Amino acid sequence: MLPGSVMNLPVQNICVVGAGNMGHQIALSAALAGFQVMCTDIDPQILARAENFADTYLKERVTKGRLNEEQARAARNRIAFTGNLEEAAREADLVIEAVVEKLAVKRQLFARLDAICPAHTILATNSSYIVSSKIADATGRPEKVCNMHFFNPALVNKLVEVVKGPHTAAETAETMLEVAGRMGKVPVLLQKEIYGFLVNRIVAAIKNEAIYLYDMGVASYEDIDTAVVQALGHPMGPFRLMDLTGIDLTYHVGMERYQETGDPRYKPSPLIVEKYLKGEWGRKTGRGFYEY
């Protein structure tokens, strides 16, 4: 992705709320594509790490010859970090929310954003499971609310799922497809909401079966990962993928779904609960199923 003009798009200023692993990479992707970006988080340490990541990443791209000095400097000048939500969102044409996967938190945030942002601003959630129809009525602009789901790592992974809820205007969905394309992504449009969207429904089926096989003592998680990589051609097995995306995310998504439906099928496995309670969340903590 190289910086360029976005003047032909209705979106020029983007606010990313949540500077964690997904949020800061989405923000930097947008800055590299030519958008003006504000990245915000309530945690000063997370925000500082995000800013340090941006500086380090851009320097590495120059060293590797992927960007020249001018391009890197221009991209860095287009992204700013702040702990003040109002400062970050008040001039945004698009807000991309990338906070914890808890519905109550997202609804509260979207209500605040609705009060802060200009009337034309699109409010998108990067949630991997929570559909925007559960959030839209917390705002006065449901037609401008949708899912815009990036995949981890957002700087590398090309796919973006744009999910059009029953409340989402066709113009909103079209704008999201254009923005994703300008960011160098490959967008796909879901014409209707469904839990887990496209990719995660498929991944969840594999993940759940992998956990079941491990819980039953059929094979070690290492051998299950090896089998999936070698036989199915996946870049990584389901256990290593959970380490990458975060075992805490697996836990929260399962608990949200279980509490919503009451269906015990969605309750996180005792294995996942144990890892979550131990703080062994994967790469972000240095230990999950594997050590990092």
Catalytic residues: 128, 149, 161, 200
Question: How many Cα atoms within 13 Å fall on the side-chain side of residue 19?
Answer: 26
Burial class (CB in 10 A: 0-12, 13-18, 19+), 191: exposed
Residue type at position 166: P
d(CA 169, CA 159): 22
d(CA 164, CA 133): 9
d(CA 115, CA 94): 14
Task: Report whether the peptide linkage leading into residue 187 is cis, meaning its omega lies within 30 degrees of zero.
Answer: no
Q: Which residues of 54-79 are buried (b: 16+ CB within 10 A; e: fewer)?
A: beebbeebbeeeebeeebbebbbebb
Relative orientation angle of helices 199-215 and 221-232, to the nearest 10 degrees: 140
Report the SS3 class of residue 162.
strand
